[in-house]
């Protein structure tokens, strides 16, 4: 670990946390344009966070420490996840310690805490949300794992940096297994980040809501932390997707000269990906909650097929 | 030349009947076509016995003493069935069970069915063999549902789906066979020719061949009626017209078994181990035992004899699996005897059901009084199929069981128990039907059951005395596959 | 790996994907569309194999496939469901996540089954035999899980597609006479199935195969 590496790691961690709401703002703006609405400012998410931080938190009487503790855990998990994903460069001090399975584990910890906290209040909505969250997670998590195994099979490693480096150096070719994994990853991304065919955080419709039902009892700084964590989660997923499926332009170990180019590349990719997500959300309809397991099962199926195809084609 | 006539007669006959099937003389035309086919088969048989195996038309057709046995048998049973269906289908039409259009379909499709079976038997190309087997399904499926009752539609649907799925497995087996052969013979037309395959069978890839044989066995086995892929046959037999039951049981099962045996010969050569034979013995024995015990539960007379067909095809499959000249000889003889006897039984059963107006055995009583010819036909047929001594089935079963005692002693108890069970079940059910008390009056018209007694007579004669040239012929065939 | 090899792999993967899509598709009309797409992929892969191995026969086979499976059969099926007035029929009662998991298990089984053989196949098509086997098994699964006669038949046709893919990819195509025979059988079979649908509906007033489970041992 070099000093530059440590410095870079610090910068990336802070940058990710700072930039995540901007990404959400961008996606929201794009969605508004696609829906022929006038778009909110790109900084709208920051304003909302500031507003929430300035309010006084209200807690239900029968909440335990879990409820108060959970937002910090969730925020911490997401921050850690975003920090270990190679966004700009592959030479990260943290990344050597963490691999893809740990990454999935970190997401799982956050999921467990948010569900516990939702049930902790004891309201019907919280329990309902927790149940739905687990329903989705039960299939989305293995699907995500298998997407990662797919990549591990190619790079013979579960370490994030190794995977990204192998993929970035790979000669150009047609890889059906990667395509399957990418589609599966996209579906998991939609399901895990409460995006439209699966969930719509803009509404509070009891028949369909998942994410909103979970956090219904939160207010003020707790809510702000959770919303911020969701933004970081989206950012982390984007970063993972970009690093794995569009890795070109990333700065490799020690190659600090490539950093400016890498920054431009990542920003451009994020902008395009955000717009793409907004487009996807604009053209698809929210599905019934009972269809969600089918959606996630399809993601799982695609990921597994990718894995199997990888196995067949490469052997 | 004979082949051209052999295949052309039913094909042209089918085409003509498709056009003229409405006419009153349509059944006679069908008989004429079948007769021509039979004469061609006889000429072909004579030539093969005299000159040995023939290949013609650029090696696309191949006839040796093995398949000529089945060609002769098929054309003969097709002829007697055509003769039988002439009065039988007329009666059905009179009773309003079938329309004129259905009769046309029946007569045309019967010829086409004969054609596909003969094509499957004479072709040298394993791919064409598959095509012909599938065509045989297609030509019979609409015949099974000829009466258009809900049950017959259901039976035909099951038959169609199961047979198609089965035959799809056989296609996969054929593809794998080609895959193995192409490595040795090169791609192109010759790699599926059985004669070419037979010459190079020692150098075919064993792994591929064993997999190919499994698929061929399961695929064609659906048509041989091997347990556990036998479900369609009892339904199809019970719900279809009787002549169709007779040819399905008597002929189609044989042809399917023929396809399996052709595959086995190649596989044995490639594997140099008794893998294929063991599989066939296992499935055969399973079929025998399961069918024998299911016989007890039957109430419908045609279903009863359908299960009996499963049992006998099981015996033949077992015997082919055992291999060796003796086993194969027994199997061939058994196939012949079973075809002749079972079609005779179905002819008798058809008339019995027609006269009684039901197929439920409890309602058929005292045939010997209402109609002695049918009664005796059914009784003698049942005795013959159960392997009672003067009849030919006894001879073939005797050969198979004694061979099994020598070669595969472990299997003999199963066979004996199954045969005993089958005997008790069938005899116990047929006896009251023939000799039981009945209130029905004696029927005014004696039915034309000449085919029944011709078949049974042949079976009887062969049971008592197999002419030396015939034994030679069968032995030759057995040596070819053994 | 050569470009044509990669293309074959991609087409094989798409074929497998279509097999899964058919497994989970509830609408009959969409099933027919998927079947037609399967035909497109199949003939495309035949052309690629033909091009890369330089076998003229395969071009004919590809054209035959395209004609039969992209145009004629889907058209017949379309006319059938139009005449039977089941165009918008939707099947219920299929638990898609479970079926998909079973499907994945079948794919693993198929790959294992084909592995010793595909090691011997030609370089261009070495991994496709397993996929073809998987397509066959998935179509079989579809036949078992479906309740509507039309879907069962489409399952059967899809199974035949899988077999054809095995033939083209593993062996560079069967002899021409055999392929023609198979095509004829499939065509005639589809016609007979078509006639059958009308018989079934006339008799049972529905195309649901559950009506046809009455014949059993007592």
What is the interface pTM, i.e. ipTM, of the complex? 0.92
Cβ distance B153 to C204 less than 8 Å, yes or no, reads yes
Mutation site for C-interface testing, chosen from A150, A296, A312 by largest number of C Cβ within 10 Å: A312
Distance CA B454, CA A315 (A): 64
- Give the per-residue pLDDT at A293: 84
Chains C and B: 3 or more CB pairs within 8 Å of each other? yes
**Cross-chain CB nearest to C6 (options A174, A180, A298):** A174
Q: Both ends of chain B: CA-CA distance in Å?
A: 29
Q: How far is CA A167 from the centre of its chain?
A: 20
* Number of domains into which chain A is organized: 1
Looking at residue B56, the DSSP 8-state letter turns out to be: E
A174 CB contacts (<8 Å, ≥6 apart)?
C6, C7, C9, C10
Say yes or no to pLDDT of A116 above 80: yes
B–C CB contacts, 8 A cutoff, strictly below: 135
Query: What string of DSSP letters covers C50-81?
Result: HHHHT-HHHHHHHHHHIIIIIIIHHHHHHHHH
Number of residues written out for chain B: 482
Structure token digits, residue A179: 């395509």
Q: In chain A, what's the furthest Cα-to-Cα distance?
A: 60
Cβ distance A305 to C104 less than 8 Å, yes or no, reads yes
Cα–Cα distance list, C117 to B73, B400, C120, C132, C169 (Å)? 39, 37, 6, 12, 13
Whole-number average pLDDT of chain A: 83
Q: In chain B, what's the furthest Cα-to-Cα distance?
A: 71
Q: Which of residues 128-147 of C touch B (CB under 8 A)?
A: 133, 136, 140, 143
Distance CA C155, CA C26 (A): 13
Number of residues written out for chain A: 315
Distance CA C95, CA A58 (A): 43
Structure token digits, residue A308: 């199997």
Q: Which of residues 150-209 of A touch C (CB under 8 A)?
A: 173-174, 176-177, 179-180
For the segment A253-261, the average pLDDT, to the nearest whole number, is: 69
- Check if the beta carbon of residue B167 is closer than 8 Å to that of residue B130: yes
Mutation site for B-interface testing, chosen from C115, C121, C152, C212 by largest number of B Cβ within 10 Å: C212
Distance CA B188, CA B186 (A): 7
Among A28, A68, A73, which Cα is nearest to A46's?
A28
Write out the E strands in B117-214: none
Cβ distance B125 to C116 less than 8 Å, yes or no, reads no
* Angle at CA of residue C204, ends C200 and C208, nearest 5°: 75
Percentages of chain C per state (helix, strand, coil), in multiples of 5: 80, 0, 15
Query: Tens digit of pLDDT for each residue in A28-65?
Result: 888 888 888 888 888 888 888 888 888 888 887 788 88
Residue of B nearest to C200 (CA): B153
- Give the per-residue pLDDT at A1: 52
Chain B residue numbers touching C209 (CB-CB < 8 A)? 157
Cβ distance B127 to C203 less than 8 Å, yes or no, reads no
Secondary structure of residue B63 in the 3-state scheme: strand
- Check if the beta carbon of residue C44 is closer than 8 Å to that of residue C52: no
Mutation site for C-interface testing, chosen from B11, B58, B99, B165 by largest number of C Cβ within 10 Å: B165
Q: Where are the domains of chain C?
A: 3-212
Q: Where residue A315 falls among pLDDT bands split at 50, 70, 90?
A: low
Structure token digits, residue B87: 């009065």
Cβ distance C120 to B178 less than 8 Å, yes or no, reads no
Chain C residue numbers touching A173 (CB-CB < 8 A)? 1, 6
Say yes or no to pLDDT of A100 above 70: yes
Based on its alpha-carbon atoms, the radius of gyration of chain A, rounded to whole angstroms, reads 19
- Give the per-residue pLDDT at B368: 83
A–C CB contacts, 8 A cutoff, strictly below: 59
Cβ distance C107 to A305 less than 8 Å, yes or no, reads yes
Structure token digits, residue A65: 């420490």
How far does the CA of residue C7 sit from the closest CA of chain A (Å)?
7
- Name the stretches of chain B with pLDDT < 50: none
Q: Quick one: A295 exposed, middle or buried, by C-beta within 10 A (0-12, 13-18, 19+)?
A: buried
Say yes or no to pLDDT of C123 above 70: no
Cβ distance B208 to C200 less than 8 Å, yes or no, reads no
Q: In chain C, what's the furthest Cα-to-Cα distance?
A: 60
Structure token digits, residue A236: 């982390």
Say yes or no to pLDDT of A172 above 70: no
Looking at residue B251, the DSSP 8-state letter turns out to be: I
Say yes or no to pLDDT of A253 above 70: no
Residue ranges making up the domain that contains A293: 3-314
Q: What is the dihedral of CA A124, A129, A135, A137, to 10 degrees?
A: -150
pTM for the complete prediction? 0.86
- Check if the beta carbon of residue B106 is closer than 8 Å to that of residue B143: yes
């Amino acid at each position: 670990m070099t000093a530059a590496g440590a410095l870079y790691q610090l910068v990336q961690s802070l940058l990710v946390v700072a930039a995540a709401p901007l990404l959400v703002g961008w996606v929201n703006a794009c969605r508004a344009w696609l829906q022929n609405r006038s778009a909110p400012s790109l900084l709208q998410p920051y304003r909302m966070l500031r507003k929430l931080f300035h309010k006084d938190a209200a807690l239900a009487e029968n909440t335990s420490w879990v409820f108060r503790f959970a937002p910090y855990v969730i925020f911490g998990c997401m921050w850690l996840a975003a920090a270990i994903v190679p966004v700009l460069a592959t030479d990260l001090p943290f990344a050597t310690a963490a691999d893809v399975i740990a990454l999935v584990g970190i997401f799982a910890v956050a999921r467990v805490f948010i569900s516990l906290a939702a049930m902790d209040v004891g309201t019907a909505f919280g329990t309902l949300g927790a149940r739905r969250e687990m329903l989705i997670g039960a299939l989305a998590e293995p699907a995500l794992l298998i997407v990662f195994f797919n990549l591990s099979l190619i790079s013979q490693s579960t370490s994030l940096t190794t995977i990204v480096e192998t993929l970035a150096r790979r000669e150009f070719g047609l890889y059906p297994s990667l395509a399957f994994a990418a589609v599966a990853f996209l579906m998991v991304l939609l399901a895990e980040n409460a995006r439209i065919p699966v969930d719509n955080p803009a509404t509070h419709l009891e028949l369909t809501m998942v994410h909103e039902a979970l956090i219904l009892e939160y207010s003020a700084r707790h809510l702000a932390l959770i919303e911020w964590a969701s933004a970081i989660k989206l950012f982390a997923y984007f970063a993972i997707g970009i690093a794995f499926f569009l890795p070109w332009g990333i700065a490799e170990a020690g190659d600090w000269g490539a950093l400016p180019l890498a920054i431009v590349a990542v920003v451009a990719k994020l902008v395009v990906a955000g717009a793409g997500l907004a487009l996807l959300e604009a053209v698809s309809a929210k599905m019934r909650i009972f269809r969600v397991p089918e959606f996630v099962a399809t993601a799982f199926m695609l990921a597994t097929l990718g894995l199997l195809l990888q196995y067949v084609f490469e052997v | 030349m004979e082949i051209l006539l052999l295949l052309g007669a039913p094909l042209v006959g089918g085409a003509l009947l498709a056009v003229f099937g409405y006419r009153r003389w349509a059944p006679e035309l069908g008989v004429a076509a079948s007769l021509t086919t039979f004469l061609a088969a006889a000429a072909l048989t004579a030539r093969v016995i005299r000159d040995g195996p023939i290949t013609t038309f650029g090696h696309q057709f191949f006839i040796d003493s093995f398949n000529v046995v089945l060609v002769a048998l098929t054309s003969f049973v097709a002829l007697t069935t055509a003769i039988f269906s002439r009065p039988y289908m007329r009666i059905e039409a009179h009773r309003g069970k079938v329309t004129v259009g259905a009769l046309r379909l029946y007569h045309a499709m019967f010829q086409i069915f004969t054609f596909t079976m003969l094509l499957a038997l004479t072709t040298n190309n394993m791919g064409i063999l598959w095509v012909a087997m599938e065509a045989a399904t297609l030509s019979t499926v609409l015949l099974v549902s000829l009466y258009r009752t809900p049950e017959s539609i259901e039976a035909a649907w099951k038959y169609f789906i199961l047979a198609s799925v089965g035959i799809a497995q056989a296609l996969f087996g054929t593809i794998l066979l080609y895959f193995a052969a192409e490595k040795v013979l090169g791609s192109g037309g010759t790699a599926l020719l059985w004669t070419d395959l037979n010459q190079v069978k020692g150098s075919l890839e064993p792994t591929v061949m064993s997999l190919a044989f499994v698929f061929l066995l399961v695929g064609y086995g659906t048509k041989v009626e091997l347990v556990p892929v036998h479900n369609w046959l009892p339904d199809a037999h019970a719900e279809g017209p009787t002549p169709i039951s007779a040819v399905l049981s008597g002929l189609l099962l044989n042809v399917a078994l023929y396809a399996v045996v052709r595959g086995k010969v190649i596989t044995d050569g490639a594997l140099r181990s008794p893998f294929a034979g063991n599989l066939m013995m296992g499935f055969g024995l399973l079929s025998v035992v399961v069918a024998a015990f299911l016989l007890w539960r039957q109430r419908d007379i045609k279903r009863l004899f359908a299960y009996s067909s499963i049992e006998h095809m099981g015996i033949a499959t077992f015997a082919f699996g055992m291999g060796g000249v003796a086993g194969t000889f027994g199997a061939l003889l058994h196939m012949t005897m079973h075809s002749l006897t079972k079609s005779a039984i179905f002819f008798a059963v058809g008339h019995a059901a027609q006269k009684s107006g039901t197929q439920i055995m409890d309602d058929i009583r005292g045939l010997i009084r209402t109609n002695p010819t049918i009664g005796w036909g059914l009784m003698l047929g049942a005795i013959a199929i159960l392997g009672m001594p003067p009849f030919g089935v006894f001879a073939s079963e005797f050969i198979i069981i004694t061979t099994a005692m020598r070669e595969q002693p472990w299997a003999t108890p199963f066979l004996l128990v199954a045969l005993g069970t089958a005997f008790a079940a069938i005899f116990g059910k047929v006896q009251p039907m023939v000799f039981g008390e009945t209130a029905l009056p004696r029927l005014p018209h004696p039915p034309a059951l000449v085919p029944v007694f011709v078949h049974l007579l042949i079976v009887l004669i062969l049971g008592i005395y197999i002419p030396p040239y015939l034994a030679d012929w069968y032995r030759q065939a057995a040596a070819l596959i053994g | 790996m050569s470009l044509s090899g990669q293309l074959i792999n991609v087409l094989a993967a798409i074929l497998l994907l279509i097999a899964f899509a058919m497994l989970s598709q509830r609408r009959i009309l969409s099933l027919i569309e998927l079947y037609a797409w399967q035909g497109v992929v199949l003939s495309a892969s035949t052309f690629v194999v033909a091009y890369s191995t330089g076998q003229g026969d395969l071009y004919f086979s590809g054209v035959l496939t395209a004609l039969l499976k992209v145009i004629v059969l889907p058209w017949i099926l379309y006319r059938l469901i139009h005449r039977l007035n089941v165009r918008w029929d939707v099947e219920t009662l299929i638990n898609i996540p479970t079926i998909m998991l079973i499907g994945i298990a079948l794919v693993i089984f198929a790959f294992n089954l084909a592995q010793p053989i595909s090691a011997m196949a030609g370089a261009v098509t070495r991994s496709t035999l397993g996929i073809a086997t998987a397509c066959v098994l998935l179509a079989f699964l579809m036949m078992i899980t479906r309740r509507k006669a039309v879907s069962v038949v489409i399952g059967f046709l899809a199974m035949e597609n899988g077999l054809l893919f095995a033939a083209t990819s593993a062996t560079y195509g069967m002899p021409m006479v055999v392929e023609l025979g198979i095509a004829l059988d499939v065509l005639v079979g589809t016609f007979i199935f078509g006639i059958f649908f009308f018989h079934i509906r006339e008799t049972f007033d529905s195309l649901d195969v559950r009506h046809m489970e009455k014949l059993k041992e007592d």
